[in-house]
A and B are shown apart, each in its own frame.
Chain A
């Protein structure tokens, strides 16, 4: 029982990271109906920036917020420069560009920061009154950070006029233009937000899995599985999906299939969701009046 609980809780801790990656994917999917395959590598690159700053003597949180800001700008720029020219291009063109971005960011991480595996600090104290035998302080802290991000996003979309405009632009770009919304900039904003969320996820996970240019490759798959499971157009669903994937992966890995086959869980979930329930658990079927 003890061991089972332990597996569940550490699954939840992983799931939180998958959830934030899923959230970043959903952000871009909602705005553009594309899955950004480069999301993981962009997050890794952001994490390297934070690592370099910390190595240079910056305090953790200083580096953290600076990296989030730089990532936001970076995401915005990638959309403005690389993706805007192909906004109206077919899906496959976009997919190729995403793969290109993936390779570019992966190579840049390796070139600028080399391929050795690096330790990444945790901002949270090793021993804390809140930490227990099930949760480490870092896991609790990451959960807290993700909840803050979620709450912030929720408030942004629900209560600000720019948030409302982003939702409108994602849903009906033609009508959005007719009320004066600069739709193309809304896409840029979506990319910026997604890159910032990805950066947070990268910085949180780097302490657990250690930092190297391929750090996010597997995590992106889990995140993708989480996003699909939760419903690719539902931010809350994405986070829940991420948690479910984290727990499932851990339990199956511990008791059924062994740790070597863990990644298979994500792939099976992706294929399973797409064939059995393409809208995911919480995604909504779009119904329109004729």
Chain B
């Protein structure tokens, strides 16, 4: 299977502090890959490194079918333009703008206006609650609705790769179940590849095809989700359940 993204010797820094240490990983096209690990392991930083929001060294080879592109050293805006959409931790919605304006902004780099309108309607079909609140300020939405908005906004890019940072964080279990069900359908029906960072390992392993376990900025182990899920020693050592 084709690799959508391949990271080699990827390191990331906040100022002088190194957070990722020469990690290697790959994302297969069409699959959901998850990164698990304890607090401070470098999960969020890995996503930020992909978007070039933090200083990085090493290689990030991205190939969405139109030839290989090196992401390291690119401006964030240009990584986005290649089709990498990021749902950051804290969701990153534009709180003072309406739900609809948030969705329009998600498609900011696209030129096809008619198609954008179609995609906005699609987002409303996917999350009917957003349709009810389309003219409401995003900041007044509940946490679950904001997460739905953040995911919908990212999808407005028609991304090749969707980066999700703890989509279950702080949400009620029922809402989490709904959001994960929709994430699966986005992957299966729309063929969007995903890189998912999660605290809830069980949930993430159920959804993902492949998993990486990070430990203090290095890859401790990786493999198909099934294997990791069923390996009791791994579960005890790294996932704590």
A residues apposed to B, CB below 8 Å: 161, 164-165, 167-168, 171-172, 174-183, 287-289
Contact = CB atoms under 8 A, between A and B. Distances in A.
A168 B53 CA distance: 18
Given A168-B94, A178-B86, A181-B77, A289 B139 contact: yes
B97 A171 contact: yes
Given A178-B80, A181-B108, A288-B139, A164 B101 contact: yes
Contacts of A171: 94-97
A164 B92 contact: no
Given A161-B104, A167-B96, A183-B77, 7 more contacts: A164-B97, A164-B104, A175-B88, A177-B53, A179-B80, A179-B106, A181-B77
Given A180-B157, A287-B139, A175 B108 contact: no
B108 A165 contact: yes
Contacts of B92: 172, 174-175, 178
B171 interface: no
A125 B92 CA distance: 53
Interface in B64-97: 75-77, 80-81, 85-86, 88, 92-97
A182 B80 CA distance: 11
A176 B77 CA distance: 9
A172 B97 CA distance: 11
B95 A288 contact: yes
Nearest to A167: B97
Contacts, number: 69
How many B residues are at the interface, by size bracket? 20 to 34
A133 B72 CA distance: 68
B93 A175 contact: yes
**A interface, by DSSP: helix, strand, loop or mixed?**
helix
A180 B109 contact: yes
A168 B80 contact: no
8 interchain residue pairs of minimum CB distance = A180-B109, A175-B92, A180-B80, A177-B76, A178-B86, A179-B105, A179-B108, A180-B77
A172 B139 contact: no
A183 B77 CA distance: 9
A167 B109 CA distance: 16
Contacts of A174: 53, 88, 92
A37 B33 CA distance: 51
Contact of A179 (B95, B109, B139): B109
Among A178, A182, A183, the most chain B Cβ lie within 10 Å of the Cβ of A178
B80 A177 contact: yes
A177 B77 contact: yes
7 contacts: A168-B105, A174-B92, A175-B88, A178-B76, A179-B108, A179-B153, A180-B80
B35 interface: no
B157 A179 contact: yes
Contacts of A288: 95, 139
A287 B95 CA distance: 9
B40 to A, nearest CB: 21
A105 B179 CA distance: 56
A168 B109 contact: no
A165 B102 CA distance: 10
B231 to A, nearest CB: 35
Nearest to B86: A178
A69 to B, nearest CB: 26
B51 interface: yes
Contacts of A179: 80, 105-106, 108-109, 153, 157
B229 to A, nearest CB: 31
A177 B51 CA distance: 10
A239 B56 CA distance: 46
A165 B101 CA distance: 10
B198 to A, nearest CB: 19
A179 B153 CA distance: 9
A268 to B, nearest CB: 31
A178 B90 CA distance: 13
Nearest to A158: B101
Nearest to A233: B96
A267 to B, nearest CB: 31
A171 B88 CA distance: 16
